[in-house]
């Protein structure tokens, strides 16, 4: 409950010790109201100072003695500071008066707020804060330990907001549904980052707009916005992207085709047999590849989701790892980074007679698609891929459904339609 103040006066008082001929210096505030219609209270603050030589004004008396009898009031100078014989005691009284002055300023400057008015005043102050800097704060504090892709996406949204605002500031007071819709329309034609030309794809715009809305929702939770205005705006519809994958025959052809870089070949086929991403294969250590009796498994932490994964694997996948080495060594040491893998990978794919555009990530798509095609249920495939949501895996199920529809129309016979009538 917020205190209210009605002409509160702060003074320094002496309180006699019951056990020695000394007095405690106390800063006293009165009246102070805890509730608007409550009784006034006297607030006493002990400042841990004691005096033994106060001077008494024998013209002024008060019932301040320990036995309730009349006692003299202490002498004060023109500024109201208690006077003492001892220099040390006088310094203590000056110290107490400094605290009194500070407390008096606090009471004098305090606005007489009700709880509702106080909340409204606090909200008004927050509405003057910068939303763009808030996005940066949320990115660093709440997602700083997230995956690399999450960190990069939040940073990019922060940069795009500055481009949209044509400056470094969007006040929370300026945020309404119209601004959100304006940003939604603008981001669909936003420029690509990283020195690339052209605009971002619709799916990338959908990802960025979702992050923008997440920041607005968090701002509502944190009290910077009075309503969850982001909930009133629909997400950008993602375009269903085509997931290229390889058939079993194509995998066999690739296995029989030489590659300029044997590490790329082994890693790509390993991805097709395990579903691992390039980033997880690149950092995979021998300590995470286990052979127990006649079975094999991987026990590692996903770089993207930070999830700890336990995954059985086939003997073929284990053989692609090569000769077992020191536990701390990388299994696929020398595997190029994504920026340097595309050209040798393309030459290998073309040498195998495959004309479609196949990236390293397509081998992960291949694993998922072939598993579903061979009857593995979608929940098992989702777990094997390390997906946190089975909806992410359903895109592969759609590919299988399309193949089934084509298969259903593959067999055609000449029917006499008149006989069927």
Judge whether residue 322 has pLDDT over 60.
yes
pLDDT greater at residue 251 or residue 302: 251
Q: Cα dihedral sign for 323, 329, 331, 337?
A: negative
Return the pLDDT at 260: 92
Across 361-375, average pLDDT = 86
Distance of alpha carbon 343 from alpha carbon 279, whole angstroms: 18
Average pLDDT of the chain is 84
CA distances from 37 to 3, 6, 10, 16, 245 (A): 11, 12, 21, 33, 74
* Domains of the chain: residue spans and CATH: 4-112 (no CATH), 131-232 (1.10.150), 248-407 (1.10.443.10)
CB-CB contact of 70 with 62 (8 Å): yes
Q: pTM here?
A: 0.50
Judge whether residue 420 has pLDDT over 70.
no
Report the candidate in 251, 228, 219, 226 with the shortest Cα–Cα distance to residue 119: 226
């Amino acid at each position: 409950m917020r205190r209210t103040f009605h002409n509160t006066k702060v003074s320094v008082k002496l309180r006699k010790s019951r056990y020695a001929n000394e007095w405690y210096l106390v800063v006293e505030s009165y009246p102070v109201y805890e509730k608007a219609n409550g009784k006034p209270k006297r607030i006493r603050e002990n400042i841990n100072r004691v005096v033994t030589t106060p001077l008494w004004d024998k013209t002024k008396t008060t019932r301040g003695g320990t036995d309730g009898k009349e006692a003299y009031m202490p002498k004060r100078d023109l500024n109201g500071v208690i006077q003492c014989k001892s220099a040390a005691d006088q310094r203590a009284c000056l110290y107490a008066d400094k605290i009194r002055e500070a407390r008096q300023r606090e009471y004098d400057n305090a606005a007489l707020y009700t709880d509702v008015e106080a909340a409204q005043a606090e909200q008004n102050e927050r509405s003057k804060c910068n939303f763009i800097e808030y996005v940066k704060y949320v990115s660093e504090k709440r997602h700083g330990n997230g995956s690399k892709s999450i960190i990069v996406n939040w940073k990019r949204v922060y940069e795009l907001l500055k481009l949209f605002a044509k400056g470094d500031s969007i006040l929370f007071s300026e945020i309404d549904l119209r601004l959100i819709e304006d940003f939604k329309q603008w981001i669909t034609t936003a420029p690509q980052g990283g020195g690339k030309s052209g605009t971002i794809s619709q799916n990338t715009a959908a990802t960025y707009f979702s992050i923008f809305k997440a920041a607005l929702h968090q701002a509502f939770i944190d009290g910077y916005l009075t309503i969850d205005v982001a909930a009133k705006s629909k997400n950008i519809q993602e375009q269903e992207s085509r997931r290229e994958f390889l058939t079993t025959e194509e995998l066999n052809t690739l296995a029989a085709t030489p590659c300029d870089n044997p590490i790329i070949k082994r890693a790509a086929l390993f991805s097709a047999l395990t579903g691992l991403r390039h980033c997880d294969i690149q950092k995979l250590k021998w300590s995470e590849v286990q052979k127990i009796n006649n079975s094999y498994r991987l026990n590692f932490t996903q770089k993207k989701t930070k999830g700890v994964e336990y995954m059985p694997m086939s003997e073929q996948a284990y053989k692609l790892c090569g000769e077992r080495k020191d536990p701390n060594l990388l299994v696929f040491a020398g595997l190029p980074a994504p920026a340097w893998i595309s050209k040798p990978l393309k030459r290998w794919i073309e040498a195998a007679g495959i004309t479609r555009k196949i990236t390293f990530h397509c081998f992960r798509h291949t694993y998922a698609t072939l598993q579903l095609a061979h009857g593995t249920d979608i929940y098992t495939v989702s777990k094997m891929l390390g997906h946190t949501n089975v909806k992410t895996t359903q895109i592969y199920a759609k590919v299988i459904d399309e193949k089934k529809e084509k298969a259903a129309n593959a067999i055609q016979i000449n029917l006499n339609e008149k006989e069927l009538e």
